[in-house]
Amino acid sequence: MSNAIEPNPWSSDTLLAKAQLYIEQMNSTVADEWKYGLWSALSLELLARAALAHISPVLLADAQNWRNIMHALGKAPTAKKFTPTSIGTKEVLVRLNELLPDFNQEVAGFCSKHVERRNAELHSGEIVFTGLGTAEWLPKFYRSCKILLESMGKQLADFVSDPERALEMIASLNDAAAKAVDQDIKAHATVWSNKLEEERKSATLQATAWATRHAGHRVSCPSCASPAILHGNPSGPVSTRVGDDEVIQRQTMLPSAFECIACGLKISGYSKLSACGLGDAFSSTTTYTAAEFFDLYTEEQLEDARNEIPEYEPDFNEY
């Protein structure tokens, strides 16, 4: 009986499978957590290596030792204590830029910067992904993934959990109409500044109370700086954390609409929101008691049930 041949760790399929595993880890968190960005960078690096290996795994081999090339071909080592060495990620991106027409300088530059963020996060005391808004990198991340996947004959839907939202973010990068939203913001700001101070104070107080009562993500209006509401659509799976007496569920929300009742500004569509600095994903958090989440009876319900049990006379009959 022959031994099964182990998969080549430098093969395109193996690297793609690991990239898929890492993006699943990314989606297991919500977009405003630092781990979301870190897992995205790790996944992107592996996806880039998978795309280069799809052309040929030999392209991943460090040419300083010819045995690396043999390893890339899936051959057993011919020397003792041999440790295969691949090229660095920077060189992977350089080669992809030359070999893939759609992997242009802009895309390669983003990938390089995103990997540098990963390096800083892992190898320094710098906290890179905390506070880094997703509007700054997530659309470009999905565009890079799309290009790399298509070079391997794959689709974005084969890799991400919410391809519709990902494609919407990619489209926002080239949406010229979205840039016009700045004019609308300036127009509302002009009208706001022309109001009397008392009118502005009254409108701000009303907006504060309104934003507190309404469901949504509270942000500052780009026209008048009053509290306003940002609505969003769910994107990706729900993250669930079960504690001793409560269950917390969180889900990433992709901004879809903005409304401010103080100055009347309204913006619809991710591309327009992203263009004016309101495109960062946020999380929707819901907290349940354990009884609520698992449909258990509460202590009050149990006590009510006990009180409803009829009282019977003692029965001393023996069988």
DSSP secondary structure string, 112-155? HHHHHHHHHHHHSS---STT--GGGTHHHHHHHHHHHHHHTT--
| CB contact at 8 A, 235 and 253 | yes
- CA dist 236 and 233 (Å) reads 10
The number of distinct structural domains making up the chain is 2
More confident residue, 174 or 59: 59
In the block, residue with structure tokens 């190898």: 123
Domain boundary among 112, 140, 172: 172
Q: How do residues 184-195 score in pLDDT, each as one tens digit?
A: 999 999 999 999
Q: How do residues 144-183 score in pLDDT, each as one tens digit?
A: 999 999 999 999 999 998 899 999 999 888 876 677 788 8
- Spatial CB neighbours of 289, under 8 Å, sequence gap ≥ 6: 245, 246, 247, 298
Q: Are both 184 and 165 inside the same structural domain? A: no
Beta-strand (E) ranges in the chain? Answer: 217-220, 227-234, 239-242, 246-259, 266-268, 282-289
Assigned domain for 310 exists: no
| CB contact at 8 A, 274 and 257 | no
Q: Are both 150 and 245 inside the same structural domain? A: no
Assigned domain for 101 exists: yes
Domain boundary among 152, 172, 192: 172
Task: Report whether pLDDT(319) > 60.
Answer: no
Give the per-residue pLDDT at 314: 44
DSSP 151-166: HTT--GGGT-S-HHHH
Q: How confident is the model at residue 3 (pLDDT cuts 50, 70, 90)?
A: very low
- CA dist 93 and 120 (Å) reads 18
- CA dist 291 and 242 (Å) reads 12
| CB contact at 8 A, 28 and 249 | no
Q: Are both 168 and 263 inside the same structural domain? A: no
C-alpha 252: how far from chain center: 7
- Spatial CB neighbours of 73, under 8 Å, sequence gap ≥ 6: 57, 58
Q: How do residues 203-238 score in pLDDT, each as one tens digit?
A: 999 999 998 888 789 999 999 999 999 999 888 778
Q: Are both 182 and 118 inside the same structural domain? A: no
Q: Are both 61 and 187 inside the same structural domain? A: no
**125 burial via Cβ count (<10 Å: 0-12, 13-18, 19+):** exposed
> Model-level pTM?
0.74
Domain boundary among 125, 155, 172: 172
Residue 234, strand partner residues: 253
- CA dist 221 and 217 (Å) reads 12
Contacts 24+ apart (CB under 8 A), 158-164: 159/19, 159/20, 159/23, 159/47, 160/23, 160/27, 161/24, 161/27, 161/236, 161/237, 162/235, 162/236
Q: Are both 211 and 263 inside the same structural domain? A: yes
**319 burial via Cβ count (<10 Å: 0-12, 13-18, 19+):** exposed
| Residues 114-130, mean pLDDT to the nearest whole number | 92
- CA dist 284 and 129 (Å) reads 19
Give the per-residue pLDDT at 1: 33
Q: Are both 184 and 125 inside the same structural domain? A: no
**Six-digit token string for 223:** 């026209």
- CA dist 96 and 91 (Å) reads 9
Assigned domain for 314 exists: no
Nearest residue to 45 via CA among 144, 140, 128: 144
